[in-house]
């Protein structure tokens, strides 16, 4: 059975508009607080966090710290595949204690990645609050996890696959959905 | 990666870089308030040490514990082994206790191979030093240390000139390093008196020299091996004084090394014999870092062997 | 008297198949196939008949290590390998350095009845290399010892070796030297070379064997005696023996089957089944040994059958004992390495595994051709059969064969000791 052609869900300008909107939302909801830091979840969450951080810095008129948080060691499905290579964890110099940490990822799906990120964050320090920003929420949560900031709500079926490309990582920006492909 | 780490030859170029890169990430755990990762929770790592070695054992113990594994220490002294229990029976006991990995240090070359291939245990075997054969995690931490200083902590060691000085004949550190450094693209030179080179060393991928002074100006890192005074009894060299004079790294020799060059030693040191005290304590010496790097490297090895689905070797040795 | 007929066998050297009739321990008739009759008939169509094989070098472990082998189990294994006589080495416990011990071993062999056992007497008391043992008493004993050896250890003291060579001239004895200079091999684990350098195992240099052989052949020449070199293992040793023979020195030599086929590269597995004294050597050495056996520089194949308990092999290399089983696979290995490769024909096999060993041991009733009037010591071989070597199915009490899992040609079908069948289906 042949794959259906991928359907575009977000173009590059859609993505940039979403990022800008989310940056404003973060600023609003944190009341312009100066202890916000963004941590992108590798791989594509990192590029998104950098872009979001740049926009937020413009809005707030000051440098918003941006870093990354690798969750490989905290995954709940480690034993299913051979040990994976680690990705970089870079915590900004001021640390996470008493900060508002906004985790940034490209797609929110089962919620297990975010759960792992919360565990990883717990071993790094004690934030004042933790929030979640995602570019795409495709539903099908397996854990009680929800996003605070969503670029696009995208109801999907389990057999569909969502593909995100981010310029910082892939050289181009798009989000597509491909339906019912045989694995 | 293979299911066991018995020899530095078990690591391909990609495997070696994976271990080093993973170790670099894991090194940062040491800077966190909670120096632990949950990855090996519920796994049991046994340190099976038939030879005295507090330093290496503690290093492996720290590595396993930082990954939340349970650690069981078994040392030969005062145990049933010193009463004559065989390696096989010791292994069967450990298997009954459910070891996921056995880190073994043994005085007999090839003991880890027997453990891995005899069918006595099912877990992964990590060679922590077997006789005069190999010490792969030492080579890994040595490569990691060289990388930190000479290539900014990234990539391989292509073109780097590493000199290893001392009792090559009896050194498992030398053997593992020759393999691993070559895998990573470095040029290795071995320096020793002729009596301390094995017959057949000319087939190794390394340059051989009997003259330390001629080699030092062209080296990026010098690794001094421990010289055992007991070797004098079998006429390997006439006296400690002569050995030290001809093959010891003193401050005069250190001066002729290039400015960026580092001084290494796997420990324990015989200060005054193969290495001068002032050299061991100098700015060029990275000996203390080697020890710290040992923990990160061993964490990486344990994670890669045990942190995912069980590994299965394609070919049985 | 019972007559046994071996029907339709091909005697080595004969053009056609024959019937061989045995009675009272002797061959009484050899005739065209199907022409003879007797009380017992053994169908030997498609089989080759060789004179019973003679082993110059076996360890029967009794007295002292009956847990690994006894005279009974060892000779049973010998019969299964086609042997009708074996020489039992003296490194037992107690050592066979007196008439009493050699007679005990000889008697055990006679009682078991699987093959003739000819004890080898120690050269020095307790194998300690200090004083000569009572060689004369052993020669005069019921065991009629003619071969003397400290095998397991070297008679390394030059003066003692000289005296031993001189002394045995009185009774046509021969000193069988285990050539190993002890100072060059202290703690040695495997052949010294490229492999030992990589594996971190203490090396055993070829020169440790060659230096002793060089000395001994010169001593033998000087005192006008007879020397036998046990288990030759290096190319250099072969060269030395060839030189010595060209000078007319009375030296004979043996090689083990395992040294004809296995190399030191096998040690990379650290499996102690490959640990042996002398150690496995390089491919160049194996080639030189095969050439030496083919051209007669090496006179005989001798098994050096060395059973060991499983706890002495199921451990790390350094802790393991040295030695391999050999009686039941010897002929197959010789066929694989020498006959199937065209270096030796079956007549050559007879010479090296029966006639020459019998001559060296001075055994008048063994190694004789299959002809009327000769003792009926006969081995029947299926030259085209192949079998898988499985340690579970050996006759020996021990299991340390390096050929487990390997397929080897030429299967021994039946063995007869003076007309009585000692191995094979009836």
In a domain, C212, yes or no: yes
User: What does DSSP assign to residue A63?
Assistant: P
**Is residue B150 domain-shared with residue B90, that is, in the same domain?**
no
- B229 and chain A in contact, CB less than 8 A: no
Domain with B92 in it: 8-134+292-306
Tens place of pLDDT for every residue, chain A, 183 residues? 556 789 999 999 999 999 999 999 999 999 988 899 999 999 999 999 999 999 999 999 999 999 999 999 999 998 888 899 999 999 999 999 999 999 999 999 999 999 999 999 999 999 999 999 999 999 999 999 999 999 999 999 999 999 999 999 999 999 999 987 554
Task: Please check whether residue A28 lies inside any domain of the structure.
Answer: yes
Q: Which of C192, C194, C271 sits opposite B203 (nearest CB)?
A: C194
User: What sign for the dihedral angle of Cα B87, B89, B92, B93?
Assistant: negative
Q: Answer whether residue B1 is part of any domain.
A: no
Contact B115, B8 (CB under 8 A): no
For chain C, the maximum distance between any two Cα atoms, rounded to a whole number of angstroms, is 64
Hey, of A75, A76, A82, which one would you mutate to test binding to chain B, going by the most B CBs within 10 A of its CB? Answer: A82
> Which of B28, B32, B307 is nearest residue A83 as measured by Cβ atoms?
B307
Q: How many domains does chain A have?
A: 1
Does residue A170 sit within a domain? Answer: no
The answer to whether the CB atoms of C318 and B109 lie below 8 A apart is yes
Q: Is the domain of B142 the same as that of B62?
A: no
CA distance C387 to C410: 8
> pLDDT per residue over A132-182, tens digit each?
999 999 999 999 999 999 999 999 999 999 999 999 999 999 999 998 755
For residues C71 and C197, state if they share a domain. Answer: yes
DSSP helix/strand/coil, A56: helix
Q: Which residues sit opposite B5 in a β-bridge?
A: B126
Task: Say whether B83 is catalytic.
Answer: yes
C278 & C252 share domain: yes
DSSP B275: B
Query: Phi and psi dihedrals of C150, rounded to 5?
Result: -95, 20
Do C19 and C86 reside in the same domain of the chain?
A: no
Q: In angstroms, rounded to a whole number, what is the distance separating the alpha carbons of residues C118 and C108?
A: 11
- In this predicted model, what pLDDT tens digit does every residue of B156-189 receive, in sequence order? 999 999 999 999 999 999 999 999 999 999 999 9
Q: How many domains does chain B have?
A: 2
All chains having 3 or more CB pairs closer than 8 angstroms to chain A: B
pLDDT at B317 over 50: no
Does any domain span residue B315? Answer: no
Q: Do chains A and B touch (3 or more CB pairs under 8 A)?
A: yes
Rounded to an integer, what distance in angstroms lies between the CA atom of residue C79 and that of residue C109?
A: 12
Q: Are residues C160 and C227 in the same domain?
A: yes
Cα separation, B259 vs C23, whole angstroms: 93
CA A157: distance to chain centroid? Answer: 21
Residue B67: closest CA among chain A residues belongs to which residue? A73
Q: For residue A107, is it within any domain?
A: yes
Residue A163 DSSP code:
E
Q: Does A6 map to a domain?
A: no
Q: Is-catalytic flag, B35?
A: no
Per-residue pLDDT at C133 exceeds 70: yes
How far B30 CA sits from the closest chain A CA (Å)? 11
C139, containing H or E segment? helix C135-140
Report the candidate in C291, C293, C262 with the shortest Cα–Cα distance to residue C276.
C262
Q: Is the pLDDT of residue B315 over 60?
A: no
- Do B206 and B156 fall into the same domain? yes
Question: Annotated catalytic residue: which of C19, C97, C150, C304?
Answer: C304
C313 and C381 fall within a common domain: no
B55 is annotated as an active-site residue: yes
pLDDT tens, B5-57? 999 999 999 999 999 999 999 998 888 888 899 999 999 999 999 988 889 99
Nearest CA in chain B to A75: B39
Residues in A closer than 8 angstroms to B308, CB to CB, are 78-84
Q: Do residues C97 and C198 both lie within one domain? A: yes
Chains C and A touch (3+ CB pairs under 8 A): no
Whether the pLDDT of residue C129 is over 70: the answer is yes
| DSSP per-residue string spanning B203-235 | GSSSEEES-HHHHGGG-SEEEEPPPPGGGGGGT
Among A79, A86, A119, which would you mutate to test the B interface (most chain B Cβ atoms within 10 Å of its Cβ)?
A: A86
- Whether C178 and C242 map to the same domain: the answer is yes
The dihedral built from the CA positions of residue A168, A172, A174 and A180, taken in this order, carries a sign that is negative
Residue A141: domain span: 12-156
Whether A168 is in a domain gets the answer no
Domain C-terminal end among C360, C386, C401 = C360
Sheet of strand C251-255: strand arrangement: C147-148, C174-177, C227-229, C251-255, C300-301
Cβ contact A81–B308 (<8 Å):
yes
The answer to whether residue C181 is domain-embedded is yes
Q: Are residues C225 and C295 in the same domain?
A: yes
C-alpha to C-alpha distance for B46 and B77, rounded to whole angstroms: 16
Measuring CA to CA, which residue among C211, C216, C255, C253 is closest to residue C233?
C255
Whether residue C71 sits in one domain with residue C31: no
Are residues B114 and C203, on separate chains, in Cβ contact within 8 Å? Answer: no
B130 and B166 in a common domain = no
Instruction: Give the number of A-B residue pairs with CB atoms closer than 8 Å.
Output: 50
User: Edge-to-edge, what's the strand order for the sheet holding A36-40?
Assistant: A66-68, A36-40, A100-108, A129-137, A149-153
For residues B156 and B270, state if they share a domain: yes
Chain B nearest C-alpha distance from C125 (Å) = 29
pLDDT exceeds cutoff 90 at C1: no
Same domain, C294 and C209: yes
Range of the domain at C299: 53-360
Cβ distance B104 to B127 under 8 Å? yes
Q: What domain count does chain C have?
A: 2
Are B124 and B142 members of one domain?
no
Q: Please indicate, yes or no, if residue A163 is contained in any of the structural domains.
A: no
On the 0-12 / 13-18 / 19+ scale of CB atoms within 10 A, C211 is middle
The predicted pLDDT at position B228 comes to: 78
Across residues B214-225, what is the average pLDDT?
Answer: 97
CA trace torsion C79, C81, C83, C84 (10° rounding): 20
Query: For residues A38 and A91, is the Cβ–Cβ distance under 8 A?
Result: no
Residue C365 placed within a domain: no
Do C286 and C351 lie in one domain? The reply is yes
- Is A121 inside a domain boundary? yes
Q: Do A86 and B25 touch (CB under 8 A)?
A: yes
Confidence of residue C393 (pLDDT cuts 50, 70, 90): confident
The ipTM is: 0.89
- Mean pLDDT check: name the lowest of A35-39, C169-173, C393-397: C393-397
What pLDDT does residue B316 have?
A: 42
Q: Provide Rg for chain A, Cα atoms.
A: 16
Give B134's contacts in chain C (Cβ within 8 Å).
200
CA B144 – CA B25 distance, rounded (Å): 12
Kindly report the CATH number assigned to the domain that includes residue A88.
3.40.50.2020
Characterize the bridge pairing of strands A161-165 and A174-178: antiparallel
**Spatial CA neighbour of C239 closest among C156, C298, C279:** C298
Is residue C80 packed enough to be buried (19+ CB in 10 Å), middle (13-18) or exposed (0-12)? buried
Is residue B316 assigned to a domain? no
Strands (E), B26-141: 44-49, 70-75, 101-106, 124-130
CB contact under 8 A, B108 and C318: yes
Residues B92 and B180 in one domain: no
Three-class secondary structure of residue B48 per DSSP: strand
* Distance separating alpha carbons of residues C73 and C221, to the nearest angstrom: 40
Q: Work out the average pLDDT over B78-98.
A: 79
Q: Give yes or no: residues B216 and B183 share one domain.
A: yes
Tell me which residue in A83, A87, A125 faces B33 most closely, judged by beta carbons: A125
User: Is A164 within a domain?
Assistant: no
With vertex at residue C186, the alpha carbon angle to CA C180 and CA C187, rounded to the nearest 5 degrees, is 120
Q: Residues A83, A86, A87, A92: is their CA dihedral positive or negative?
A: positive
User: Which segment of B70-84, B297-311, C60-74, C297-311 scores lowest on mean pLDDT?
Assistant: B70-84
Cβ neighbours, 10 Å, residue A50: 18
> Biggest alpha carbon distance in chain A?
53
Q: Do B133 and C201 touch (CB under 8 A)?
A: yes
Instruction: For residues C125 and C142, give the distance between their C-alpha atoms in angstroms, rounded to a whole number.
Output: 20
Residue A182 has what pLDDT? 52
Please tell me the distance from the alpha carbon of residue A12 to that of residue C213, in angstroms, as a whole number. Answer: 86
- Taking an 8 Å cut-off on Cβ atoms, the answer to whether B108 and C319 are in contact is yes
**3-class secondary structure, A121:** helix
What percentage of chain B exceeds 70 in pLDDT? 95
Percent of chain B surpassing pLDDT 90: 80
| Residue ranges of chain A whose CB lies within 8 Å of a chain B CB | 70, 73-74, 78-89, 119, 123-125
Using the beta-carbon criterion (under 8 Å), do A89 and B39 form an inter-chain contact?
no
User: C335, C360, C385 — which closes off a domain?
Assistant: C360
**CATH code of residue C95:** 3.20.20.140
Q: Are residues B253 and B229 in the same domain?
A: yes
Regarding whether B140 and B120 lie in a shared domain, the answer is no
Mean pLDDT for B277-299 is 96
CA B65 to chain centre: 20
Catalytic residue among B57, B106, B135, B226: B135
How far apart (Å, rounded) are the C-alpha atoms in residues B7 and C161?
45
Residue B278 sits in a domain of what CATH number?
A: 3.40.50.1370
Distance CA C337, CA C342 (A): 9
Specify whether B86 is located in the same domain as B129: yes
Across the interface, which of B21, B32, B308 has its CB nearest the CB of A83?
Answer: B308
Do the Cβ atoms of B114 and C200 come within 8 Å? Answer: no
Whether B218 and chain A come into contact, CB under 8 Å, resolves to no
Same domain flag for C132 and C242: yes
- CB burial string B191-219: b at 16+ within 10 A, e below: bbbeebbbeebeebebeeeeebeebbeeb
Residue B105 bears catalytic tag: yes
Say if C314 falls within a structural domain.
yes
Averaged pLDDT, C269-280: 97
Cα–Cα distances in Å, from C414 out to B255, C83, C84, C93?
Answer: 79, 10, 11, 33
Measure A114 CA to nearest chain B CA, in Å: 16
Residue B272 lies in a domain: yes
Q: Is residue C222 very low, low, confident or very high in pLDDT (cuts 50, 70, 90)?
A: very high
Q: Is B253 in the same domain as B106?
A: no
Rounded Cα gap, residues C278 and C234, in angstroms? 9
CB–CB contact C316 B106 (8 Å): yes
In a domain, C368, yes or no: no
| Out of A83, A123, A125, closest to residue B303 by CB | A83
How far apart, in whole angstroms, are the C-alpha atoms of residue A16 and residue C358? 97
For the segment C284-298, the average pLDDT, to the nearest whole number, is: 98
Residue B241 domain-assigned? yes
């Amino acid at each position: 059975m042949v794959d259906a052609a991928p359907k575009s869900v977000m173009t590059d300008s859609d993505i940039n508009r979403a990022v800008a909107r989310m940056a404003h939302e973060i600023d609003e909801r944190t009341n312009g607080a100066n202890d916000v830091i963004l941590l992108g979840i590798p791989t594509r969450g990192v590029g998104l966090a950098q872009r979001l951080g740049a926009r937020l810095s413009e809005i707030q008129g000051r440098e918003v710290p941006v870093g990354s948080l690798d969750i490989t060691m905290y995954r709940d499905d480690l034993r299913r595949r051979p040990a994976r290579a680690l990705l970089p964890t870079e915590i900004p110099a001021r640390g996470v204690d008493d900060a508002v940490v906004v985790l940034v990822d490209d797609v929110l799906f089962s919620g297990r990645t975010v759960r792992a990120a919360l565990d990883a964050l717990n071993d790094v320090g004690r934030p004042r609050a933790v929030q979640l920003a995602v570019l795409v929420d495709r539903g099908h949560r397996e854990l009680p996890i929800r996003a605070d900031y969503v670029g696009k709500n995208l109801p999907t079926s389990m057999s569909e696959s969502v593909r995100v490309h981010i310029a910082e990582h892939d050289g181009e920006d798009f989000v597509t959905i491909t339906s019912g492909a045989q694995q | 990666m293979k299911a066991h780490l018995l020899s530095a030859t078990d690591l391909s170029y990609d495997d070696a870089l994976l271990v080093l890169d993973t170790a670099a990430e894991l090194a940062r755990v040491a800077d966190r308030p909670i120096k632990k990762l949950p990855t090996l929770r519920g796994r049991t790592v046994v340190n099976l040490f038939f030879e005295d070695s507090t330093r290496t054992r503690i290093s492996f113990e720290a590595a396993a514990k930082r990954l939340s594994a349970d650690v069981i220490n078994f040392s030969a002294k005062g145990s049933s082994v010193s009463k004559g229990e065989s390696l096989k029976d010791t292994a069967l006991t450990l298997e009954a206790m459910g070891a996921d990995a056995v880190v073994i240090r043994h005085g007999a070359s090839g003991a880890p191979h027997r453990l891995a291939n005899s069918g006595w245990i099912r877990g992964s075997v990590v060679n922590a030093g077997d006789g005069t054969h190999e010490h792969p995690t030492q080579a890994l931490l040595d490569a990691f240390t060289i990388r930190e200083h000479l290539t900014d902590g990234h990539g391989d060691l292509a073109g780097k000139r590493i000199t290893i000085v001392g009792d090559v004949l009896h050194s498992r550190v030398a053997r593992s390093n020759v393999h691993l450094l070559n895998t990573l693209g470095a040029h290795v030179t071995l320096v020793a008196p002729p009596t301390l080179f094995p017959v057949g060393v000319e087939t190794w991928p390394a340059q051989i020299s009997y003259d330390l002074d001629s080699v030092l100006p062209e080296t990026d890192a010098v690794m001094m091996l421990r010289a055992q005074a007991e070797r004098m009894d079998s006429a390997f060299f006439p006296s400690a004084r002569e050995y030290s004079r001809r093959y010891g790294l003193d401050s005069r020799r250190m001066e002729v090394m290039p400015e960026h060059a580092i001084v290494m030693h796997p420990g324990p040191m015989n200060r005054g014999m193969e290495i001068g005290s002032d050299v061991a304590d100098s700015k060029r010496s990275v000996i203390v870092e080697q020890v710290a790097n040992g923990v990160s490297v061993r964490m990486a090895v344990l994670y890669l062997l045990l942190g995912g689905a069980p590994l299965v070797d394609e070919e049985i040795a | 008297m019972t007559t046994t007929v071996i029907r339709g066998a091909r005697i080595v050297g004969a053009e056609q198949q024959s019937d061989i009739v045995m009675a009272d321990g002797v061959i009484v008739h050899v005739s065209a196939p199907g022409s003879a009759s007797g009380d017992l008939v053994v169908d030997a169509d498609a089989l080759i008949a060789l004179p019973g094989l003679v082993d110059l070098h076996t360890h029967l472990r009794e007295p002292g290590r009956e847990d690994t082998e006894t005279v009974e189990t060892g000779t049973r294994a010998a019969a299964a390998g086609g042997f009708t006589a074996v020489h039992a080495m003296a490194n037992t416990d107690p050592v066979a350095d007196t008439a009493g011990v050699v007679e005990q071993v000889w008697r055990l062999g006679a009682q078991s009845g699987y093959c003739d056992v000819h004890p080898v007497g120690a050269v020095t008391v307790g194998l300690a290399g200090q004083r000569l043992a009572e060689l004369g008493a052993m020669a005069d004993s019921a065991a009629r010892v003619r071969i003397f050896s400290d095998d397991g250890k070297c008679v390394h003291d030059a003066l003692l070796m000289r005296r031993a060579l001189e002394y045995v001239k009185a009774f046509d004895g021969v000193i069988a030297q285990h050539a190993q200079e002890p100072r060059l091999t202290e703690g040695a684990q495997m052949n010294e070379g490229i492999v030992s350098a990589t594996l971190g195992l203490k090396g055993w240099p070829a020169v440790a064997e060659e230096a002793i052989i060089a000395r001994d052949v010169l001593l033998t020449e000087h005192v006008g005696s007879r020397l036998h070199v046990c288990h030759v293992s290096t190319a250099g040793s072969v060269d030395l023996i060839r030189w010595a023979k060209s000078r007319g020195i009375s030296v004979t030599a043996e090689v083990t089957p395992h040294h004809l086929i296995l190399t030191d590269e096998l040690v990379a597995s650290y499996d102690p089944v490959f640990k042996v004294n002398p150690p496995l050597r390089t491919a160049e050495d194996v080639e030189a040994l095969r050439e030496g056996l083919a051209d007669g520089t090496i006179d005989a194949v001798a098994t050096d059958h060395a059973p060991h308990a499983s706890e002495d092999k199921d451990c790390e290399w350094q802790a393991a004992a040295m030695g391999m089983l050999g009686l039941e696979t010897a002929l197959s290995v010789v066929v694989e390495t020498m006959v199937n490769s065209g270096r030796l024909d079956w007549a050559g096999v007879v010479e090296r595994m029966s006639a020459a060993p019998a001559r060296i041991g001075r055994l008048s009733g063994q190694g004789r051709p299959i002809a009327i009037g000769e003792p009926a010591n006969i081995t029947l071989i299926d030259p085209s059969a192949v079998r898988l070597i499985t340690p579970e199915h050996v006759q020996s009490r021990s299991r340390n064969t390096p050929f487990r899992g390997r397929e080897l040609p030429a299967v021994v079908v039946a063995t007869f000791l003076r007309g009585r069948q000692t191995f094979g289906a009836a």
